[in-house]
Chain A
């Protein structure tokens, strides 16, 4: 028994995307509510039908949203732990809730306003958040101020996700001969996809000269290897496969979903970097990918389009390896050969432009694009796309992957 093809994504809603802070005077709450209502409308459902919240990274407080919107009864409210690594896995959580009979109509969402916070680690009011971040994800916190482990990382100078992934990337270059040319190809190809989309915040092509002239933020990553800092909200609605057949949109069946990772990957990045050597220069997705394809009963060759979480361009390359689109260590040459280009590549990647060039809503833009690809309505449509891969992370465990399919056969 598994969730394979038991549920489908039937509705998508999104606010416009904004540059950091520009969504004001909207709030994270108001944008979440807007996206939810649009997603329900898209599906042909109403707030009266909504009864589940299957989220990640504690993206909203279901108690607050349900109260504000007047949801008649909440029957399921759960979040995958940790951060953006859970975005794709939230669909699996929704499918599990529905298949398990705990809820009928689940929303998964992210809402983000970087006005009083900056996820990139830049100081706000003189505070470097990542330098002194506490352990775990409990809203009750540690209660005792800083944990003893904080003193082992706070003064190291690694202050942000970007710094962490620079360290990971440097090791990949060392072990496999990966180069900045390879990262440039990812940034440039995604920009080419983004500028065809009216939703994208980046509107001009990116040339290789511009890429190499950009300032270095944290070697080996330059400005264009980093995600944008943006605001907005995206929500999607999941129902049972049976119910999906009668709704407004063609279903995007949840063929398979998996989340997690090797225990010793744990919170590896950001703080201690204690992952085993064989997994260090990776996206952390290998065990998740294995379970994902096993559940689906398909192989990477069956995937038509890949929406790979791209907070930093090299992690796209590492996910291509970890999901088996190319052998471990060969992600660089693989992208250099044009394999990720839309529409000509063997596996078009981030056809929406991704975090790098469309917008960064902590992975939900990738989920939105995966659904549009399966519906056949994407701006940069992969012709005849039957199966789409969408991923969340690399980040602290869990990372996640989901396969969406046009048919449930």
Chain B
């Protein structure tokens, strides 16, 4: 079963390691958390073992507001798999997260509850989580009311 505009969660587990587990732990509680370099303050998502600005390794996990801006997107109209026939057209894009520096900490996600014919870059969005298993919560974004 799937719902138009919603990309079905194909990956049911987080396959986490120590560097990503805090993200999924927060997600289970409906929080968006991201690792911030303790040396220079740069956020990096997905988590990586080194800071790309200062090459330090240590991070602190910081809760983000979960809001952001559509940086770019596409409307997927052609289903690449049978299971997507009922899901298309859906929006998928890049979200610039509030509380971060932007590039380096963007998220890619399905954008739901939006009109695929009027969605535009710059639209404000908020994260919503679907808890699909004990260890995996899928982030999507929906349009914020003006």
Contacts and interface: CB of A to CB of B under 8 A. Distances in A.
B145 interface: no
Given A273-B94, A277-B102, A123 B80 contact: yes
Given A132-B11, A152-B45, A218 B109 contact: no
Given A171-B121, A280-B103, A218 B77 contact: yes
A140 interface: no
Contact of A215 (B15, B78, B107): B78
A122 B76 CA distance: 13
Interface in B59-101: 71-78, 80-82, 90-94
A362 interface: no
Contact of B103 (A131, A150, A276): A276
A155 B110 contact: yes
Contacts of A218: 74-78
* Majority DSSP secondary structure for residues of B touching A: loop
Contact of B78 (A148, A149, A217, A277): A217
Contacts of B46: 148-149, 152-153, 272
Interface residues of B, number: 46
A148 B74 contact: no
B15 A147 contact: yes
Contacts of B45: 152, 272
B74 A158 contact: yes
Nearest to A151: B14
A122 B13 contact: no
B104 interface: yes
B72 A156 contact: no
A218 B16 CA distance: 31
Contacts of A277: 102-103
Contact of B11 (A155, A166, A168, A171): A155
Contacts of B110: 155-157
B17 interface: yes
Contact of A131 (B11, B13, B47, B139): B11
* Majority DSSP secondary structure for residues of A touching B: loop
Interface size class of A (residues with CB under 8 A): 35 or more
A389 to B, nearest CB: 28
Contacts of B16: 148, 151
A132 B11 CA distance: 8
B104 A274 contact: yes
A146 B78 CA distance: 27
Contact of A219 (B24, B75, B82, B106): B75
A68 interface: no
A170 interface: yes
26 contacts: A122-B80, A122-B81, A123-B82, A126-B81, A131-B11, A132-B11, A146-B15, A148-B15, A148-B19, A149-B20, A151-B16, A152-B107, A154-B11, A156-B7, A166-B74, A167-B74, A167-B92, A167-B93, A170-B121, A215-B77, A219-B74, A221-B74, A263-B52, A264-B52, A272-B106, A275-B103
Interface of B: 7, 9-11, 13-17, 19-20, 24, 45-47, 52, 71-78, 80-82, 90-94, 102-110, 116, 121, 136, 138-139
Interface of A: 120-123, 126, 128, 131-132, 145-160, 163, 166-168, 170-171, 174, 215-221, 263-264, 271-277, 280
